[in-house]
Amino acid sequence: MKADREKLVVIGNGMAGISTVEQILKLSGSYDITVFGSEPHPNYNRIMLSYVLDGSKTIEDIILNDLTWYEEHGIKLYTDTTVARIDSMAKQVITEDGALVPYDKVIIATGSNPLMLPIPGCDKQGVVGFRKIEDCSNMMEAAKRYGKAAVIGGGLLGLEAAKGLVSLGMEVTVVHLMEDLMERQLDHQAASMLKAELERQGIRFAMGKQTEELLGQERVEGLRFTDGTELSCDFVVMAAGIKPNIGVAKASGIAVHKGIIVDDYMRTSMHHVYAVGECTEHRGVCYGLVAPLFEQGNVLAKHVCGVHTQPYEGSVVSTKLKISGVDVFSAGEFIEGPAHTVIVSQNDWKRTYKKILLRDGKITGAVLFGDVSEAAPLQKMVKEHTEMTDEIYGEVMGGGHCGSGGVARKVLSVESMAGEEIVCGCNGVTKQMIVDAITEQGLKTVDEIKASTGATRSCGGCKPVVEQILQYVLGDDFQTAAKQGICGCTSLSRDEIVAEIRAKGLKTTREVMHVLGWSQPEGCSKCRPALNYYLGMIDPAEHEDEKASRFVNERLHANIQKDGTYTVVPRMYGGVTTPEDLKRIADVSLKYDVKVVKVTGGQRLDLIGVKKEDLPKIWEELDMPSGYAYAKSLRTVKTCVGSQFCRFGTQDSMAIGALLERKFERLDFPAKFKMAVNGCPRNCAESCTKDIGIVGNDGGWEIFIGGNGGIKPRIADSFCKVKTDLELIDICSALIQFYRETGKYLERTSEWVERLGLESIRSAVLDNETQRKQLIERVEFALLQVEEPWKKVLEQPGTRRMLYEQV
């Protein structure tokens, strides 16, 4: 360290302290900086812990500044070290282990601690908070050993913890004192929509419940509520709130209340000592959200560097939640009163909701659910109390009139944003920082901006605004067609990845990501399953299936339901079963208290309400193949009774349906795959809405492809007609393999047919006999890896009768 430079000590290695340091480094090189962090990690993005918990990111992924960064900037970092107090007389910072570090200025950035409710039993084993990496690790370990978790607290942190634990396979109940989730940020309608969406994702809720006691001996075994009811669980996450970490300030004699009291330049009551972030109390307010800490840090950095700055006058509190596809935003006032004018738009089909509150015609609050694309401009308007106009109304609420759009777009555009306005709340990146990066470094893509500034590298919610800034700055040079990959980890397309795997002989997902330069070394929940599928499709003999890369339903061999239980679906070939199998299903259902046994649309029985811990025993006692109701594979082959029993039937649909199902089960597909076989054109098995539909007639079979009965219904296209069963199997084999080799991961055949075109598929499968044989050979080779070859069965006399009798 240089003797002529002032010594700056930062107590706290979190986002508030280090973002302030980053700004100081840009403004001045006149400080020797020492940082103390109580955790054994470099600076990381705390708000991304939920992504680590659900497995979509690793701890390394959320590191904001690695150890090399500290070294490059000459910063002395003490990890795993807690500061005890500040001695203002000696101008020294004193650590708990007795070390003394001199200072000229100190920044306290100790953040906050989880609020551990003083409930009897809260000291039992299996009770944790959710605030740091260690908590995250404890939760992931618990999910491996235990099945039921309770999360106390229905705020942002609690919901993130709950979703992460559900993703790990636990049965999770959120316990919340109030009747609405996130009641400090959302109105009743948005909270209700959020609860309904999270229930669909498997989270349970106990609303209006106050925990009186944590039950159990040494380890927690449940909760007892003040109304006398109880909840069984073997793991508890306390997420009922946070409290400012004021320990250092209090021990040093610095003025504190709820937080460390600071003025408009973040000065504490002790000379040359400042505070920033969640540990502070400014004008009587403690902020527990990320955006205010960046605003405070910008003011503090300028102040200590002698750069003129406007004082910090408080923040307009806003919340943005993105959890497994759920988008929620609120800013300013969100509960209407007599003085408000309320503007509301709700679309139950799209599951979207917008509400704007006005006082005296000026925008003072907003709530968005489902579509938060207008969050940034609305936050600005709430902060500035913008007067509502017809133009703004038309733009935000989707109405308006001819001629109004131009003005409204200008009001809502990035052009009107102030330079110091924060675009990326996760990383404290302002509009001006992005503009400077574009103009000074010649950046032209979102990925380049992410690498340079950090914007979009966390939750990604600011990406649309970053793109708008790019377009605004670059004008005609803006390239909207910046190459998009299969996910944010890569710019490579599906076809490019498959070609590289084949050319380079890559064998594992980790190898693919390393060799092909993934931006996230561990990938994400979108690309890992896709890579695992592509590797298995390319080299079925050598590829070792990576279970960790599969979705949780596939790992557990059952579908999770909104109440946290699971459904078990045994295979019934062609929709036909036996009395013995029915009795086995009934016995197992009674023994394990299955709530409902439902006949599905795919002609199977669905055992609904199975507890997670009972899944292995149920499958063992059923002794039946899985129906793969959860997998990207052949789900069902629906059949009518056909010529065996129906007076209209011309072909034996049950036997052929059973054969097809037995042949192709367990084979991985790009997406779920359904088939149907009709014995005549009356279409009782609904072949017209299946991925492959087969209709019998007097002359043989007609094959249809690309049908879908889901959210985007599509009637299947007639593909071809064949005369024999063997021709039928061959065409289906070639079609399936061509789809496996050319389909994008999660792309249904209805989308695949429209993307490739029916004629190109016919050309590959029907017109080119050599190519068709090669496709059949490849699918047969893949089938050899999972089951016995079926072509020999077809060649035996009396095949149809034999198959029917087997089923």
> What is the 3 state secondary structure string of 629-658?
CCCCEEEEEEECCHHHCCCCCCCCHHHHHH
pLDDT computed for residue 375 by the predictor: 81
CA angle in degrees (0–180, nearest 5) for 376-382-386: 110
- Which segments of 628-735 are extended strands (E)? 634-639, 673-678, 692-697, 700-705, 717-722
- For residue range 540-554, list pLDDT tens digits in order: 988 888 887 777 678
Q: How confident is the model over 489-498, as a mean pLDDT? A: 88
pLDDT attached to residue 268: 98
Angstrom distance (rounded) from CA 368 to CA 353: 6
Q: Does domain 116-240 have CATH number 3.50.50.60?
A: yes
Domain 318-412 homologous superfamily, CATH = FAD/NAD-linked reductase, C-terminal dimerisation domain (3.30.390.30)
Q: pLDDT (tens digit, 9 = 90+) per residue, 608-617? A: 989 888 888 9
Q: Is the pLDDT of residue 163 over 70?
A: yes
| Residues 21 and 33 sit within 8 Å (Cβ to Cβ) | yes
Backbone angles phi, psi at 7, to 5 degrees: -100, 120
Angle at 410 between CA 404 and CA 414, to 5 degrees: 150
Q: Which H/E stretch holds residue 805?
A: helix 799-806
The reported pLDDT for the residue numbered 412 is 54
pLDDT at 731 (0 to 100): 96
- Residue type present at position 329: F
Higher pLDDT, 295 or 10: 10
For 713, phi then psi, to 5°, come to -60, 145
Write down the pTM of the prediction.
0.59
Query: What CA–CA distance (Å, rounded) separates 178 from 469?
Result: 40
CA distance linking residue 265 with residue 187, whole number of Å: 34
Answer positive or negative: Cα dihedral of 482, 533, 708, 678: positive
Mean pLDDT of 338-345: 93
Q: Which residues, in sequence order, are CB contacts of 335 under 8 Å at separation 6+? A: 187
Interior/surface letters 142-177, b for 16+ CB within 10 angstroms, e for the rest: bbeebbbbbbbbbbbbbbbbbbbbbbbbbbbbbbbe
- 480 pLDDT more than 90: no
Residue 479 pLDDT: 55
Asked if pLDDT for residue 410 goes beyond 70, the answer is no
- What pLDDT, on a 0 to 100 scale, did the predictor assign at position 406? 39
Identify the pLDDT of residue 154: 93
Judged against a pLDDT cut of 50, whether residue 772 lies above it is answered with: yes
Q: Which residues pair with 563 in a beta bridge?
A: none
pLDDT in tens, 220-275: 999 999 999 999 999 999 999 899 999 999 999 999 999 999 999 999 999 999 99
Residue 6 has pLDDT above 60, yes or no: yes
Q: Find the range with the poorest average confidence among 17-21, 55-59, 250-254, 330-334.
A: 55-59
Domain 6-112+244-304: give its CATH superfamily: FAD/NAD(P)-binding domain (3.50.50.60)
pLDDT of residue 804: 38
Domain 632-807 homologous superfamily, CATH: Sulfite Reductase Hemoprotein, domain 1 (3.30.413.10)
Candidate from 314-323, 529-538, 591-600 with smallest mean pLDDT: 314-323
How far apart CA 69 and CA 62 sit, in angstroms, is 15
What is the pLDDT at residue 402? 38
Query: Residue 464 pLDDT more than 80?
Result: no
Q: What is the mean pLDDT of residues 41-60?
A: 83
Band of residue 707 on the pLDDT scale cut at 50, 70, 90: very high
Give yes or no on whether 318-412 and 632-807 have one common fold: no
Tell me the mean pLDDT in the region 152-179. Answer: 92
Mean pLDDT score of the chain: 87
Given pLDDT bands bounded at 50, 70 and 90, which one contains residue 460?
A: low
Nearest to 696 by CA among 723, 669, 670: 723
CA-CA distance, 213 to 127, in Å (whole number)?
Answer: 12
Please tell me the predicted confidence (pLDDT) of residue 801.
43
Q: What is the pLDDT of residue 39?
A: 94
Q: Among 6-10, 405-409, 702-706, which stretch is predicted with the lowest mean pLDDT?
A: 405-409
Q: What pLDDT, on a 0 to 100 scale, did the predictor assign at position 806?
A: 41
Mapped onto helix, strand or coil, the DSSP state of residue 201 is coil
| Euclidean distance between CA atoms 28 and 302, whole angstroms | 9
Q: Look at 423 and 539; give whichever has higher pLDDT.
A: 539
Average pLDDT over residues 102-109: 98
Higher per-residue pLDDT: 805 or 18: 18
Question: Residue 801, Cβ neighbours under 10 Å: how many?
Answer: 12
Give per-residue pLDDT as tens, 777-803.
999 999 988 754 333 444 444 444 444
Confidence (pLDDT) at 506: 92
Q: Is the pLDDT of residue 401 over 50?
A: no
Asked whether residue 620 carries a pLDDT value surpassing 80, the answer given is yes
What's the average model confidence in pLDDT over 397-426?
Answer: 59
Identify the band that residue 400 occupies on the pLDDT scale cut at 50, 70 and 90.
Answer: very low
Give the H/E segment covering residue 273.
strand 273-275
- The sheet carrying 230-232 orders its strands as 211-216, 220-225, 230-232
Condensed to tens digits (0 to 9), the pLDDT of residues 62-93 reads 888 989 999 999 999 999 999 999 999 999 99
pLDDT at 490: 85
Percent of the chain, pLDDT > 90? 54
Domain definitions of the chain by residue range:
6-112+244-304, 116-240, 318-412, 422-477, 494-550, 632-807
User: What kind and span of H or E run contains 598?
Assistant: strand 596-599
422-477: CATH class: mainly alpha
pLDDT given at position 627 = 84
Which of 458-472, 582-596, 618-632 is the least confident region?
Answer: 458-472
Q: What percent of the chain has pLDDT over 70?
A: 92
- What does the alpha-carbon distance between residue 107 and residue 260 come to, in Å, rounded to a whole number? 12
pLDDT at residue 788, as a whole number: 45
The confidence score (pLDDT) of residue 149 equals 97
Mean predicted confidence (pLDDT) in 615-635:
88
